[in-house]
Homo-oligomer: A and B are copies of this chain.
Amino acid sequence: MRLSNLFMPTLREVPAEAEIPSHQLMLRAALMRKLASGIYNYLPLGLRVLRKIEEIVREEMNREGAQEILCSALLPSELWKESGRWEVFGPEMFKLLDRNGREFCLGPTHEEIFTDIIRNEVKSYKDMPLNLYQIQTKYRDERRPRFGVMRCREFTMKDAYSFDTSWEGLDESFNKMYRAYCRIFDRCGLDYKAVEADTGAMGGTGSMEFMVKSDIGEAEVVYCSSCDYAANIEKAPTFEVKVEAKEELKELQKVETPNVRTIEELVSFFNTTPQKFAKTLIYKADDKVVAVMVRGDRDVNETKVINYLKCINLELADAETVRKATGADIGFAGPIGIKVDELLIDYEVKYIENMIIGANETAYHMINANYGRDFEGTVGDFRNIAIGDKCPKCGAEIKINRGIEVGHIFKLGTKYSQAMGATFVDDKGEEKPIIMGCYGIGINRTMAAVIEQNHDEKGIIWPLSIAPFHVIVVPVVMKDELQVKVAEEIYNKLNEMGVETLIDDRDERAGVKFNDADLIGIPIRITVGKKIKDGIVEFKLRNSSEVKEIKVEEVYDEVLKVFKERNVKIKSC
């Protein structure tokens, strides 16, 4: 492709709308443009990268025996009502009516649809194991779309669903997908970690997320400094650590604390540390009201609370609910005399001596409260793990990093097959629910994650495997006939070899050409300049500052060497 023809409106300035590097670079390098909040159009370079990631995903899915299909994005409500998820999704689901008033949604995921296909077509244990996938457009009406394609409202997802006759079969299907995902993210050049994730009721290793290490990631990953343990923060457990009593139990006392509500304000008011406080948060859990106590410096882990309560929706209570439960404004809740359906107390709170708590009275706190003497409740693990906690597997120090979730594999079990009647007849003639797994990869988010991990101040540094083009040939002076002639020869020959090659045949200054080449991140740059008189061109890799001078005739072997070193195959030949 010639840059004089290529639709590549690069930007010099960083667009105001973009906060993070990948978003800025996807706009600047002309990969995409915003159409509406969280909705993007992909330009030629961006689409080429998307397609290459899709192709890697396809190859590795097929290698594990998965079969590609393609479902509609416009889905009738009936299937979602069968599974009970029509209401669960809430405002995140785009809903619409057709001209006859029938309800549809734009699919945020496709468990129901695949289950429906299978229950109509699969009858016997002989038809399984089966793994079907699609690479398809998903829709989620995010409350706050941001960070470009990291959190957007329309995106391409590879979603796969496995169907097995036994739990061992599910394990095998799950492991196949684990292997496929590792190969996919390896080939995309990502530095990632597969971490345990929450599975709701199921536990075990039934859910893993593939997390790309990145400071801009929205997820927190917990991992061990010593062993191979890794989990997301929702999942990583904490345990009861018994603490010997050191202080004398003092007398419970009510203290006026006007305009003092937050932990910071309280720490300052009482001149103590956050570890001396227990905060009490009031939640609505489905139709119940629940209070959760954690130490002043800790965060409630809502996933753990949901799993304990087995509820579907959990949200912080509004002021009115708080007032009903505590008789006070928000900020003064405490365990003593609180009117809730259940009081959950994190392990640590049990051992805080003479702690400070809310008094359930506006503008008052209690001091010298002690678990057991002054209040009781359900004690358990209800907080996020934090630096200082021990590895759940080996007891060594844990670390916490931010990460971008690019993939998720999940053992669904019989949740959907039971709800929707997807059964099979086993080899003994018995009818049983099909055992399912689901496996997702965010294609666009993978692209953005690659950029987060592969860029510098000049632009993107594409891995060869998913670069929009492999090579860019730059004739320095377009008026120099010899430069242009040789550049054209290299350009044509590389393309004939199946190396996807650009030529910057624009009548621009060399600086402009180099800047664009760096910005769009083409892995190999071949510059044809003055020294072509002596048969010499410059060979430069985008991920290195070294500029090699080589003979024109060596160009092709040098290019092939890079493909070989990076283990990338040339497609056509």
Contact = CB atoms under 8 A, between A and B. Distances in A.
Contacts of A7: 67, 69, 121, 130, 132
A71 B73 CA distance: 15
A41 B117 contact: yes
A213 interface: no
Interface string A17-44: 0000000000000000101100111111
A128 B202 CA distance: 58
Nearest to A90: B99
Contact of A99 (B5, B47, B102, B141): B141
Contact of A35 (B71, B130, B573): B71
B47 A69 contact: yes
Nearest to A129: B5
Given A7-B130, A120-B33, A69 B96 contact: no
Copy total for this chain: 2
Contacts of A98: 94, 141, 153
Interface in A153-175: 153-154
A568 interface: no
Interface string A269-298: 000000000000000000000000000000
A37 to B, nearest CB: 8
Contacts of A130: 7
Contact of A44 (B39, B67, B74): B67
Contacts of A104: 36
A423 to B, nearest CB: 16
Contact of A76 (B36, B72, B73, B113): B36
A535 interface: no
What is the interface of chain A mostly: helix, strand, loop, or mixed?
A: mixed
A520 to B, nearest CB: 15
B6 A67 contact: yes
A35 B99 contact: no
A212 interface: no
A389 B33 CA distance: 53
Contact of A41 (B47, B67, B71): B71
Given A9-B121, A98-B141, A44 B68 contact: yes
Contacts of A137: 73, 137
A65 interface: yes
A462 interface: no
B94 A154 contact: no
The interface size bin for chain A is: 35 or more
A70 interface: yes
Interface string A120-151: 11000000001010000101010100000000
A460 interface: no
A398 to B, nearest CB: 37
Given A99-B91, A99-B143, A154 B36 contact: no
Most buried by B among A9, A76, A99, A572: A99
Contacts of A65: 5
A540 interface: no
Nearest to A572: B571
Nearest to A35: B72
A95 interface: yes
A125 to B, nearest CB: 14
A50 interface: yes
Interface in A89-112: 91-92, 94-96, 98-99, 102, 104, 106
A75 interface: yes
A69 B94 contact: no
B74 A153 contact: yes
A47 B33 contact: no
A33 B154 CA distance: 25
Contacts of A6: 67
Nearest to A156: B70
A130 B43 CA distance: 13
A113 B39 contact: no
Given A41-B72, A92-B99, 16 more contacts: A7-B67, A7-B69, A35-B71, A35-B72, A36-B76, A36-B104, A41-B69, A42-B70, A44-B67, A47-B70, A74-B153, A74-B154, A94-B96, A94-B98, A106-B106, A571-B572
8 contacts: A6-B67, A7-B132, A33-B117, A41-B72, A43-B69, A47-B69, A72-B154, A74-B106
Instruction: Rank and list the top 7 A-B pairs by shortest CB-CB distance, nearest first.
Output: A96-B96, A9-B121, A91-B99, A42-B70, A36-B76, A41-B71, A44-B67
